């Protein structure tokens, strides 16, 4: 037998053996997968909005490998049936205990209020337009309070704005518990905003709503740190006109002398001008946030 024929036979035997080994390993993996223990996991059968109530038609049960299911999953439809949704659900995702209100919480907005917290509603006449309608249910916001005052001894200068609350969750906008598809609420439909606050914060909001004007500032959902803010007053914003001090006047004379030197005209070569003629220069001065106007008369 020729050497070439022998090589072909050996190569064919090697290919056949490799194929047999591959098929055997694949069958072994299928056997292992079929023997893997699974557990039932309740999943959402369709998209469900925040504040909705689950029913058997909105739920399904899927088999997941044991150990692969997320913590807090439910194993039967009865455990999730007739419970309110705190966080929107997407079709196919596991229904977690943390995304649902308790069975005794009931339905609607009350089911979304955690223990120890309160829902406080601010009506439109007491609040600004709400960042052009981009504040949606589920967002976190800061609440600003603006008050006006009068009197000669008023340190604010007539009014002040302060950050009243920080990182407050929005439960509802008008009567909506979930965000619209456009991710924007028409400012004309913005009749109220309901916030999740503590009892003490609710008292502050009530006082601020009756004594001033409330405004909302939208936060990044990942920005949970409390900012170090200070009240802004009219006294800080008002323009103050003050006369320049003597040092500013001397500086103006020094600048004028330098300007004459740069022009290159010695005083002795300047033409003699009538004593009655003079030139007035206007110099604007800056000292911190204050501005002034200095007049310097120079004889020609």
Q: Which two tokens stand for residue 35?
A: 């023997």
In a domain, 229, yes or no: yes
Same domain for 218 and 139, yes or no, is yes
Same domain for 65 and 152, yes or no, is no
* Residue 40 three-state SS: strand
Are the C-beta atoms of residues 83 and 53 closer than 8 Å to each other? yes
Same domain for 122 and 89, yes or no, is no
| Chosen domain end from 237, 270, 287 | 237
Owning domain of residue 207 = 113-237
Task: Give me the pLDDT at residue 234, please.
Answer: 85
Same domain for 140 and 56, yes or no, is no
Distance of CA 213 to the CA centre of its chain: 21
In a domain, 144, yes or no: yes
Task: Give me the pLDDT at residue 91, please.
Answer: 92
**Domain containing 100 — which CATH number?**
3.90.1210.10
- C-alpha to C-alpha distance for 205 and 192, rounded to whole angstroms: 14
Same domain for 124 and 226, yes or no, is yes
Q: Which two tokens stand for residue 300?
A: 């020609």
Task: Give me the pLDDT at residue 299, please.
Answer: 57
Domain total for the chain?
3
Task: Give me the pLDDT at residue 268, please.
Answer: 47
In a domain, 180, yes or no: yes
Residue with tokens 């694949």: 26
> What is the pTM (predicted TM-score) of this model?
0.59
Same domain for 272 and 204, yes or no, is no
Task: Find, among 289, 288, 290, 293, the residue nearest to 252 by Cα.
Answer: 293
Same domain for 190 and 98, yes or no, is no
* Residue 133 three-state SS: helix
b/e 189-220 (16+ beta carbons within 10 angstroms → b): ebeebbbbbeeebeebbeebbeebbbbbebbe
Distances, alpha carbon 157 to alpha carbons 113, 235, 290, in Å: 40, 4, 17
| Chosen domain end from 107, 141, 160 | 107
Q: Which residues of the chain have pLDDT under 50?
A: 268
């Amino acid at each position: 037998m020729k050497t070439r024929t022998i090589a072909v036979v050996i190569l064919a035997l090697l290919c056949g053996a490799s194929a047999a080994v591959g098929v055997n390993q694949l069958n072994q993996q299928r056997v292992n997968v079929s023997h893997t223990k699974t557990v039932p996991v309740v999943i959402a059968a369709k998209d469900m909005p925040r504040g909705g109530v689950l029913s058997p038609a909105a739920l399904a049960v899927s088999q997941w490998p044991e150990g692969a299911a997320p913590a807090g999953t439910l194993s039967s439809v009865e455990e999730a049936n007739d419970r309110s949704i705190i966080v929107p659900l997407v079709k196919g995702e596991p229904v977690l205990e943390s995304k649902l209100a308790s069975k005794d919480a009931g339905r609607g907005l009350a089911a979304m209020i955690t223990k120890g917290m309160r829902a406080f509603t601010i009506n439109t006449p007491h609040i600004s337009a709400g960042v052009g309608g981009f504040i949606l249910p589920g967002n976190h916001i800061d609440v600003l309070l603006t008050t006006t005052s009068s009197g000669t001894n008023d340190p604010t200068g007539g009014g002040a704005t302060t950050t009243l609350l920080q990182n407050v969750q929005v439960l509802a906008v008008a009567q909506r518990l979930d965000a619209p598809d456009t991710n924007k609420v028409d400012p004309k439909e913005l009749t109220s905003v309901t916030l999740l606050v503590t009892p003490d914060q609710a008292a502050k909001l009530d006082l601020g709503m009756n004594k001033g004007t409330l405004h909302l500032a939208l936060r990044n959902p990942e920005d949970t740190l409390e900012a170090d803010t200070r009240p802004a007053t009219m006294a800080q914003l008002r323009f103050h006109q003050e006369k320049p001090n003597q040092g500013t006047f001397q500086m103006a004379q020094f600048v004028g002398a330098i300007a004459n030197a740069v022009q290159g005209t010695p005083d002795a070569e300047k033409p003699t001008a009538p004593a009655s003629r003079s030139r007035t220069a206007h110099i604007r001065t800056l000292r911190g946030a204050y501005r002034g106007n200095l007049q310097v008369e120079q004889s020609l």
